[in-house]
Structure 1
Amino acid sequence: MTTTLWTTLPYIAFTSFVLGHLWRYRNDQFGWTTRSSQIHESRLLRLGSPLFHFGMLGVVGGHVLGVLIPESWTAAVGISERSYHVLAVSAGSVAGAAVLAGIGILLYRRWTVPAVRRATTTNDKVMYALLAGALLTGVLNTVGSNLLWGRHNYRETVSPWFRSLFTAHPEPDLMVGTPWTFQAHALIVLALIAFWPYTRLVHMFSAPVGYLVRPYVVYRSKELAAPDKRRYARAWDSPATPPSR
């Protein structure tokens, strides 16, 4: 079971993530979109969307620092474990609060605005459920590690386990014995990674790079120049030419 959960499932999720995006790009470019519902409602969207997206930038940045960068590297540049912990908890709490507020507003909007609710597919519901689950278990990790069961140094368990998946020697045993919220968070994130290519989340990999090199679009004014106005006026006012016999 340990090997299945912490070695097999991650590789299945990563494979689905990579191949799913390739398949989607080759076969469904027209559907590669956020399927924006701004036309139905914009007031709540203007508030919830920035909170969610900017908060996610902070959350992802924190995960990159805490999971992908080894503890020895931050120590080598003079960042003590206490300093890292204070920075991670303070910045992570702000980013997490922004993301939770943002997704709460977006879910409220999805539920209360009839037009937006009708435009919500089953695919969207599963995606929102996975996102909400990942965020809630992430908050539980932060709260639990600092207030409930004592601080758990995930940089000695979860982080090296995740990094080991990209080596020839994965270490699933590192996840055994970690608090259940960390295990639940990891499994939900793996499910989200596997499901990602088949949702609207693919728009994260879209960037308007082509706008930097595309030719200018020339717009012509609807107003006619004075000579053109006179010419068209004369043509309009002149009697029709009688048909020739």
Structure 2
Amino acid sequence: MDLLLWIVLPYAALTVFVVGHVWRYRHDQFGWTTRSTQLLERRRLRPAILLFHVGLLAVIGGHVLGILVPASWTASAGVDEDLYHGVSVTAGTLSGLMLLAGFVLLVARREGDARVRSTTTRTDRLTSLVLGVVVVSGMYATVGENLLGGGYEYRETVAPWFRGLATLDPDADLIAGAPLAYRVHAAGAFLLYALWPFSRLVHAWSVPLGYLGRSHILYRSRRPAAAEDLRSRRRVAA
């Protein structure tokens, strides 16, 4: 079971993640969208989407530092374990609460508004379920295990296992003995990766960089008076 969960599942999920994105881009470009519901309801969407995305970016940054940066590197930089633990727990709790609040508001909006709910698919609900498991288990690991439970040194177990996946030398025993919250969080994350290419999450890769160099759009009125007024303003500006 440890072999299936901590070696087979991660590599299978990452394979589906890559191949699924390639397949969808080649065969479903018209579906490569957020399928935004902003036109249906925007009052509750604005605070929810802001909390969710700001919290998400902060959480991703914390994971990069905590998982990809070995403990020996931070120690050599003069950051002792007490300082690292205090900063990571404080920042992780605040960013996690923002992410969780935004997620709850988004789900409540989607299920509470009839028009928005009518646009919701089974894949949307499955994505929300898996994402909810990842967020809640991550919050429990941060608050329950580290803040209230006295701390758990995940950088000596979970982090080396994760880095081992990148070097094709993972040690399943490192994470198999981790607290349940960490194992649920890791397994849920890889399930989310496998689901990603077939959900709305693909919009994360559609950054509108082309707008930065796009020419300005000129609007011309069909009314002669308005057109003449526009030409007069341009002559005065010149």
TM-score (norm 1): 0.89
**Other structure's SS at 2:174 match:** helix
The 1:47–1:226 alpha-carbon spacing in structure 2 relative to 1, beyond 3 Å, is: closer
AA of the residue aligned to 1:144: G
**Other structure's SS at 1:30 match:** helix
- Specify the alignment match of 1:138 in structure 2: 138
- Specify the alignment match of 1:169 in structure 2: 169
The question of 1:126 aligning with 2:122 is answered no
AA of the residue aligned to 1:171: D
The 1:225–1:199 alpha-carbon spacing in structure 2 relative to 1, beyond 3 Å, is: same
Residue deviations 1:197-220, cap 9 Å, x none?
111011111111112333333321
Larger radius of gyration: 1
Residue deviations 1:67-89, cap 9 Å, x none?
11111111111111111111111
- Specify the alignment match of 1:194 in structure 2: 194
Instruction: Determine the C-alpha separation between the residues in 2 that align with 1:223 and 1:159.
Output: 66
* Unaligned stretches of 5+ residues in structure 2: 229-238
Instruction: Determine the C-alpha separation between the residues in 1 that align with 2:8 and 2:73.
Output: 29
- Specify the alignment match of 2:85 in structure 1: 85
1:24-173 alignment runs, 5 A limit = 24-146=24-146, 149-173=149-173
Instruction: Determine the C-alpha separation between the residues in 2 that align with 1:51 and 1:227.
Output: 44
After TM superposition, the structure 1 stretch with the greater mean CA deviation from structure 2, 137-146 or 178-187, is 137-146
Question: How far did 1:121 drift?
Answer: 0.6
- Specify the alignment match of 2:18 in structure 1: 18
TM-score (norm 2): 0.91
* Unaligned stretches of 5+ residues in structure 1: 229-245
Number of matched residues?
228
Residues 93 and 143 of structure 2 are in contact (CA less than 8 Å); yes or no, is this contact kept in structure 1? no
Residue deviations 1:139-195, cap 9 Å, x none?
110122235543211000000000000113221111121111111111111100111
More helix by share: 2
Identity %: 50
AA of the residue aligned to 2:153: N
Residue deviations 1:75-116, cap 9 Å, x none?
111111111111111111111111111111111111111000
Instruction: Determine the C-alpha separation between the residues in 2 that align with 1:227 and 1:140.
Output: 62
- Specify the alignment match of 2:221 in structure 1: 221
The 1:147–1:89 alpha-carbon spacing in structure 2 relative to 1, beyond 3 Å, is: closer
AA of the residue aligned to 1:217: I
